Amino acid sequence: MFHWLEERPFFFAVGVFTVVSFAGLIEILPNFAEASRPTVGTKPYSTLELAGRHVYIADSCNACHSQLIRPFKSETDRYGMYSLSGEYAYDRPFLWGSKRAGPDLHRVGAYRTTDWHENHMWEPVSVVPGSIMPAYKHMFSNQADIETAYAEAVTVNKVFNVPYNTNITMRDGSTANVKLPATYDEAKADVLAEAKIIASGMKNQDVKDAVERGEIPQIVALIAYLNSLK
């Protein structure tokens, strides 16, 4: 019987495939529905935040930063409450990272501010001497891609039922509602309004002027995203 298999490449391949796929079937599939349920207080990303997330991804911040606080006292002391599965319900892709050259960022929005990020992204060593994080000055002049972020929000809303335009109960009992307008032009107006709030907390005159003109520099979107991590 065994030798029969060894001589028949096709059936041999089927055998290998069965053995190899077994783990995936058992380990991954059955847990899917459960792991994707959001925790209370988790809301979808706004279009501006998504654009910021894209900046984070394009520059692979996840190569040096994790977004996963493990349940140890040393981590909760440093970074805050440990991470829960449902908090990631709208993270496509997940950004847990695999290496902490820099600190975890899962709750960085809870203890860093817009102007702190502004200074730090411009020149990390000016804020934290000895830092090995690169400066990301190009983000102050490059434009964020709002249209692609909008496209993604529309897509996850349509395909995965991510609850935009829906009332969501927050942890403190209030409700939040993340807007996703039906047309891109309306969405752009919303994004600009949100960007203006961020820009008002910044000092870089070029960035402020750009936002006044209706542009969205990458740094504004990135900070909106970092502020949303709580």
Site for other proteins in 1-60 (CB under 8 A): 1-3, 6-7, 9, 12-13, 16-17, 19-28, 30-32, 35-36, 57-60
Give 158 or 203: the residue with its C-beta nearer to ligand HEC: 203
DSSP 8-class letter at 143: B
Q: Is 126 in the site for other proteins (CB under 8 A)?
A: no
Interface positions with ligand HEC (CB under 6 A): 56, 59, 61, 63-65, 101-103, 105, 108, 112, 117, 124, 128, 131-134, 136, 222, 226
How many of the other CB atoms lie within 10 Å of CB of 71?
10
Q: How far apart are CA 192 and CA 70, in angstroms?
A: 36
Sign of the torsion formed by the C-alpha atoms of 190, 192, 196 and 199: positive
CB of 200 to other proteins, least distance (A): 26
How far is residue 99 from each of residues 27, 103, 104, 171, measured CA to CA in Å? 24, 10, 9, 30
How far is residue 221 from each of residues 8, 118, 169, measured CA to CA in Å? 57, 12, 25
Q: Is 78 in the site for other proteins (CB under 8 A)?
A: yes
Q: Which does 210 bind (CB under 5 to 8 A by kind): other proteins, ligand HEC, none?
A: none
CB of 16 to ligand HEC, least distance (A): 39
